[in-house]
Amino acid sequence: MAFELTVLGSSSAIPTTSRFPTAQVLNVHERFFLLDCGEGTQIQLRRFSINMSRISHIFISHLHGDHVFGLFGLLSSYNLMGRKADMHIYAHRDFEPTLEHFRKHFGMDMSFDIVFHPFTAVKQMEIYSDKHLTVEIIPLRHSVPVVGFLFREKKMMLNMRREAIEKYALGIKEIRNIKTGLDYITPDGHVIPNAELTLPPYKTRSYAFCTDTLCFSKLNTVLRDVDLLYFEATFSAKDKKLAKLTGHSTSEQAAMLAKQANAGRLLIGHFSTRYKSIAPLLKEARAVFPNTEAVADGDKFSIDPERIESGS
């Protein structure tokens, strides 16, 4: 039931000794999804004790080096470690020549297959779905095509109340039906409401990863009610013009977006190396949206499973 984010890199384009370029891992029910893959990602995975073999899906937001240059080393190490499982890579279709170049010049006789899932960054759409979640791309605005990734947990099957199984002597077929939300009709025709038979359902959880981009008003609705929002804050409010010029956002803009979208919690990162301290960036964000954190490499953020209270 995990829903946990680990930040691997939180710098903007130029890394520092404490902040690597962008990469994150999202663990959803013990499936690990890699978001961007800046240089040094494989080292950070080891440093923060992520089991590398659990990753089978890599999502690349855009084709700037600080979001992708760690991919070649990571794939090479998987090969040296004898990986067998397919690796699925989701990226803009323009990434195909680079993947092909890597395969031809550095990836001969790979022990595993790379499955490429190209997309364009034109419209919001689902690009991945499994038992537990869906992933949508959200077109963003930068100097090259860029998307955000929106992870939404699917509604889970209901859990039975153990005492109900005994009380009504329920069989496998009835339990299966009840778990989908149906009421139970007893042999003598009584209707037992589903809520009496099952535990309150879990709230579904969501995470949005948005970097590198300008802030624009359409995002208020696209990101509506997201539980956890990572939004780039390359610049401080005082450097708003520079943010616009370079296709980036300020921490204040990120916070205004989180507020207007009614996000649960905001994470800011991708900080420009021009700021010796990011405390002022965090302060200006919290003035607008108090539930904000400035991420650091190695930080983990979890959303615990929470049952919907009866009556709500």
Which lies closer to a copy of itself via its Cβ, residue 101 or residue 218?
101
Question: Of 77 and 134, which has the nearer Cβ to a copy of itself?
Answer: 77
Sketch the per residue contact string, 43 through 72, with a copy of itself: x for CB under 8 A, - otherwise: x--xx---------------xxxx--xx-x
> 88-127: which residues touch a copy of itself (CB under 8 A)?
94, 97-98, 101, 105-106
Q: Does 39 bind a copy of itself (CB under 8 A)?
A: yes
Q: How far apart are CA 240 and CA 260, in angstroms?
A: 19
Q: Catalytic residues, which ones?
A: 66
- Please state, in angstroms and rounded to a whole number, the distance separating the CA atoms of residues 163 and 140: 50
CB-nearer residue toward a copy of itself: 41 or 251: 41
Cα distances from 80 to residues 103, 105, 146, 174, 218, in angstroms, run 14, 16, 31, 50, 44
Any contact of residue 264 with a copy of itself (CB under 8 A)? no
8-16, 168-176, 212-220, 302-310 -> range binding a copy of itself (CB under 8 A):
8-16
Total number of residues that touch a copy of itself (CB under 8 A): 31
Shortest Å, Cβ 60 to a copy of itself:
13
Q: Name the minimum Å distance from CB 209 to a copy of itself.
A: 21
CA distance readout (Å), 271 to 25, 92, 111, 219, 303: 19, 24, 37, 21, 24
Note whether 77 binds a copy of itself by CB under 8 A. Answer: yes
| Helix ranges restricted to H, 198-272 | 219-222, 240-246, 251-260
Residue whose C-alpha is closest to residue 234's, from 199, 263, 261, 274: 274
Cα separation, 187 vs 169, in Å, equals 11
Give, to the nearest 10 degrees, the angle between helix 96-106 and helix 71-80: 40
CB 164 within 8 Å of CB 197: yes
For a copy of itself, give the closer residue by CB, 94 or 183. 94
The residue (of 10 and 292) whose beta carbon lies closer to a copy of itself is 10
User: CA-CA distance, 164 to 141, in Å (whole number)?
Assistant: 53
The footprint of a copy of itself (CB under 8 A) covers 13-17, 20-21, 39-40, 42-43, 46-47, 63-66, 69-70, 72-73, 76-77, 80-81, 94, 97-98, 101, 105-106
